[in-house]
């Protein structure tokens, strides 16, 4: 009887261990997102999620910070804020975010990029190399870029204006012959209202000193590391501003205005 009980205990512990491993493995196939892009577009700039909490769901990603205070670059397990002056600041775990996406980065495919003439060109070339438009992807590109054009925004004061008004006063930064990292998330078209359909890119320099939300880029002979994710986890805020918000309006036109580069080609 004692032998049977010991055997059962060992079996139970082994089962728990295997389920734990499965949980770790499954987490690696998931993209986590806090709040929705439409919530950000209408001016919900205060969230409850801490940076420490975000790190539980990944080591790579992007987003922003409470009060819409700058652009977030989440890279190699560290979270940086690119402020309105273009400076990158490593953030403490107790800082909070109103919108962010994260995943544990894994390289499933490497795409060689001989020549990229614009951000649109980059998006097209990566899309042509993907297996499906209906999954989620996290993309990382390291190297030297001939040109990068980025933006960031200053912290806002209540009552918060909608995002389309904020970006009218955004700060624009131009980089030439700069080494750094592009982090991108590509989402399917059916995430309208929840996430950013298509590509969303942020940049940080190799020295982790500056960067921003990417508006345009030019480079040659680099490789894109791509991870594919077939699970999407959405956590909704419980702030009063989110719970009271009205989300019936289609805001895709607003999103395109916010995302586009205002520079004349």
Among 21-25, 132-136, 146-150, 163-167, which is the least confidently predicted range?
21-25
Alpha-carbon gap, residue 133 to 110, rounded angstroms = 17
Q: Beta strand 231-235 with 30-34: parallel, antiparallel or unpaired? A: parallel
State the DSSP H helix or E strand holding residue 166, giving kind and residue range, or none if neither.
helix 163-166
pTM: 0.88
> How many whole angstroms separate alpha carbon 41 and alpha carbon 264?
24
Say whether pLDDT at 27 is over 50: no
Instruction: Look at 16-25, 167-176, 213-222 and tell me which has the smallest mean pLDDT.
Output: 16-25
pLDDT of residue 260: 74
Tell me the helix, strand and coil percentages in the chain, rounded to 5: 30, 40, 30
In CATH, the number for domain 33-259 is: 3.30.1330.80
| pLDDT band with cut points at 50, 70 and 90 for residue 100 | very high
* Residue 140 tokens, joined: 């990382």
**Averaged confidence pLDDT in the chain:** 91
Q: Between these two residues, 44 and 14, which has the higher pLDDT value?
A: 44
């Amino acid at each position: 009887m004692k032998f049977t009980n010991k055997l059962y205990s060992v079996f139970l512990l082994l089962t728990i261990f295997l389920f734990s491993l499965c949980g770790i493995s499954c987490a690696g196939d998931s993209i986590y997102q806090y709040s929705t892009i439409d919530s950000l577009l209408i001016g919900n700039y205060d969230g409850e999620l801490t940076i420490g909490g975000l790190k539980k769901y990944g080591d790579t990603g992007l987003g922003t910070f409470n009060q819409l205070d700058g652009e977030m670059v989440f890279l190699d397990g560290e979270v940086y804020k690119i402020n309105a002056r273009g400076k990158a600041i490593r953030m403490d775990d107790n800082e909070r975010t109103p919108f962010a996406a994260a995943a544990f980065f894994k390289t499933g495919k490497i795409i060689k990029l001989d020549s990229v003439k614009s951000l649109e060109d980059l998006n097209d070339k990566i899309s042509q190399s993907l297996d499906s438009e209906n999954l989620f992807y996290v993309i990382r590109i390291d190297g030297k870029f001939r040109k990068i054009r980025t933006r960031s925004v200053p912290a806002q004061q209540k009552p918060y204006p909608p995002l389309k008004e904020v970006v009218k006063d955004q700060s624009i930064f131009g980089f030439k012959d700069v080494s750094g990292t592009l982090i991108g998330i590509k989402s399917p078209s059916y995430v309208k209202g929840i996430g950013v359909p298509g590509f969303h890119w942020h940049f940080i320099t190799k020295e982790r000193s500056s960067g921003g939300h990417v508006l345009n880029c030019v480079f040659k002979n680099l490789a894109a590391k791509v991870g594919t994710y077939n699970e999407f986890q959405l956590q909704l805020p419980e702030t009063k501003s989110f719970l009271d918000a009205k989300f019936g309006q289609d805001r895709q036109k607003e999103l395109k205005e916010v995302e586009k580069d205002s520079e004349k080609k």
